[in-house]
Structure formats: C-alpha cells, structure tokens
Amino acid sequence: MLRATDRPVRAVMVPRVDMISLALDADFDSCMRMVRRFGFSRYPVAEDGDPDKVVGYLYVKDLLMAARSATGAIRDLKRDILFVPESRSVGELLNEFQATKIPIALVVDEYGGTSGLVTLEDVVEEIVGDIQDELHVDGPQVRFTDEGAIVDGSLPIDELSLEGLVAPPIEGAETVSGYILASLGRLAHPGDTLRLGAWMAVVEDVRRRRVHRVAVRPASAEELEDNRRPSTVPPPRDSST
C-alpha cells in the first residue's frame, strides 16, 4: 500500500465535475451569491467559468473587502494558482505548496485539460488521515444511543438494521458511506441529512471525502411529512473541497 506522500495527486483531488469556479468577468454580486451558496473560502477563477481556462484563484476575504468598497474587479483580485500534472505525488505537492506559499493547485491531464483541484488542506488531511489509519484500533461499527445510533461509514448498508429504517438498494453502494454519497450525488459534508424511512441519517464526520461517521435518529413529524428522498441540508464549509 502506498504511503500518503507517495500517492499521485489525482487520488486526493476534487474531480473536475465537482469543481465550483468563478468567471473572470463576473461582477461582485454574482460572486457573492456563489459564495453564500457554496460557502468555500477559495474559488478557481476561469475565463467564462470554463474549467479548462483557469487563470488563478479568488480568496473570499479579498472579495469581501473589495465588495465593501465597490472598487476593482475579479480579474484584479485573482491570485496565482499552481498547475501540476496528475502524476505529481502528494509529498512533492506539499513541498511545492510550502515553497511557493500558494495553497491551491489545478491538476491537469496529459493533454493540458483540467482534471481537478487540490488544496493544501486536502494534502495535509490525506497525510494525517494515513497516520490515523495506522494508529486506529477497530471499534464497534454501530453504537446505540438514547436517540438512535452512531454508525461507522464503513458498515455494510444491509447491516444497518433499525425498525422502520428503509434504504432502497442503490447499485454499487455497499457501505453506509457509499450509500449516502450515491444518494446525494455529490461529495458529503458534515450536516448533510438523508431520509431513510422513519429515520434520518446525519453526516457527522467526513475524512478524505468518505463519510466516516453518521448519526441515525428518528425522523421528526415534520420530516416524516416530507416524502422526498434524499433530503439534504447544505452545510457551511471552510474550503474549496
């Protein structure tokens, strides 16, 4: 098994399809709407919002200061972004982040197209998570509480057995983590919720883009009236990943 520092950055990047970019010629109001919607602290900036035309990144604090004074433009606020190949190792990228003081990199494929995005936080989380995995002592995958249960994301979804819990099969989703990701149709974040029959699954912890821990509790009367599946509550986030 490769150590975290030896893995290629493509293993830890946010895929192109999950990237949220700002257009180079966007006005402050539209950018602020994006910030309020997604809650990241940094966004790649691209010509026409095209992921293959990224020219830098925007730090939200810069945007907030400029918006207050109503001066400047997005193109004036953008900062340099690193461009790295998919084959660059996590360890090499960490060194580059430290040397350049640039905390975000665009990952490009062999043809120069955009494969994804990776941040300093992604790299550090991958390395720290690897160490935690080595030190991890296996515990119970389900811990029952007065309100329901705390469930490990690696628990096979068909072993999550609570009276009234309904989890219709999803092809390819074998674990609780995989089931939640497949239901959401995107990366999960702490605070995301999913209706499972008479129960609500609430994402408590996400590590390296996998759901690590979920709290399962009875659905409230109001939640039971909502027949949609899944039901999600977008949480605030601190970074672009």
What would the pLDDT profile of 160-219 be if each residue is shown by its tens digit? 877 667 788 887 778 888 888 888 878 788 999 998 888 889 999 887 677 888 999 998
pLDDT digits (tens, 9 = 90+) for 117-143: 999 988 887 777 654 444 444 556 788
Q: Are 59 and 50 in contact (CB under 8 A)?
A: no
**Residue-level pLDDT at 49:** 85
- Rounded to an integer, the average pLDDT of 89-113 is 93
Q: Are 172 and 150 in contact (CB under 8 A)?
A: no
- Rounded to an integer, the average pLDDT of 51-72 is 88
- How big, in percent rounded to 5, are the helix, strand and coil portions of the chain? 35, 25, 40
CATH architecture assigned to 4-130: Roll (3.10)
Look up the pTM and report it.
0.59
Q: Where are the domains of the chain?
A: 4-130, 142-225
Residue whose tokens read 């905390």:
103
Name the least confident of 21-35, 139-153, 195-209: 139-153
Which DSSP state fits 78? -
The yes-or-no verdict on residue 238 having pLDDT over 50 is no
**Residue-level pLDDT at 140:** 61
Q: Which CATH class is domain 142-225?
A: alpha beta
Look at strands 149-152 and 142-144 and give their pairing.
antiparallel
- Rounded to an integer, the average pLDDT of 216-224 is 85
